[in-house]
Amino acid sequence: MKLAIVTNKNILNYQEVLVSIKDSLNKVGLEYDVLSVDSLKSGYDFVCSVGGDGTMLKTSRFYSKTSTPVMGINLGRLGFLSLILPDDVSNLGSIIKNKKYTLRDRMMLSSEHCFALNDFVIKGHSSARTSKFKLYINDILVSDYIADGIIVATPTGSTAYGLSAGGPILHPGFDAMVIVPICAHTMTARPIVVPAKEVIRIESADELLDLSCDGQITVQEIRQVVIKSSEYKAKLAFPEDYKFYKVMRNKLHWGISPVSE
């Protein structure tokens, strides 16, 4: 079994945690290479992503093409995808060698420009003002929007930008996409959840579009964006006791009453 440890030089304390990860893997005799998130390569059986959810997104997109499991060690803020804490890495080698983890396949989105695990965000190229968008599903005109933009998210991405923009949380076991207008200029513009088999097309009535993929890849000045479910799935490795609803409560403080001072 050969592992890759993916690091992000922009994370301040990654080197200290990396030493602990190496010690843990060495104790159980696992081979590994240390890679930069900016210089990924294939050929591994298992991958550890050391950083925040941004590092995890980039790593997971790359290794989805080979169905390689990716486990996240959280050095960031929220850590919705990266659930192993730095204090737990002393047991990491045993967890991986003895397969004491659970695997989850997560659907992804694709377009002709890029693909995403979390979401696509479409905005007018002139970001200083609102834009006019046309939303088509399976070539049927569904809605016209005057808005700051449109988010198309996977269930995994429904807890990210889409949630902040007023969209619903989707359980990651769904094969579905959620379409969320950003700051729409009408109260009738509401998020829409559609099956993963649908084909979404977004055009602008008055300008070219910019597309952001997982907030990491930007494609500028395109005439339309056609979005569908990707042929690839991200394969994520979580702790054995992983429960989505538990993570939702702990990370988002879902349903927790405010504490009085």
Active site residues: 53
| Interacting residues of 15 by C-beta distance below 8 A, sequence separation 6+ | none
Q: And the tokens for 225?
A: 């964006």
Interatomic CA distance for residues 6 and 53, integer angstroms: 13
Beta strands in 78-125, from DSSP E residues, in sequence order: 101-110, 115-116, 119-124
Interatomic CA distance for residues 15 and 45, integer angstroms: 23
Interatomic CA distance for residues 169 and 157, integer angstroms: 9
Q: And the tokens for 25?
A: 């893997």
Q: And the tokens for 257?
A: 């009453």
On whether the CB atoms of residues 3 and 30 are closer than 8 A, the answer is yes
Compute the C-alpha angle 107/105/57, nearest 5°: 65
The number of C-alpha atoms within 13 Å of 240 and in the hemisphere containing its C-beta is: 8
Query: What is the torsional sign of CA 53, 57, 69, 237?
Result: positive
Query: What is the torsional sign of CA 142, 146, 151, 155?
Result: negative
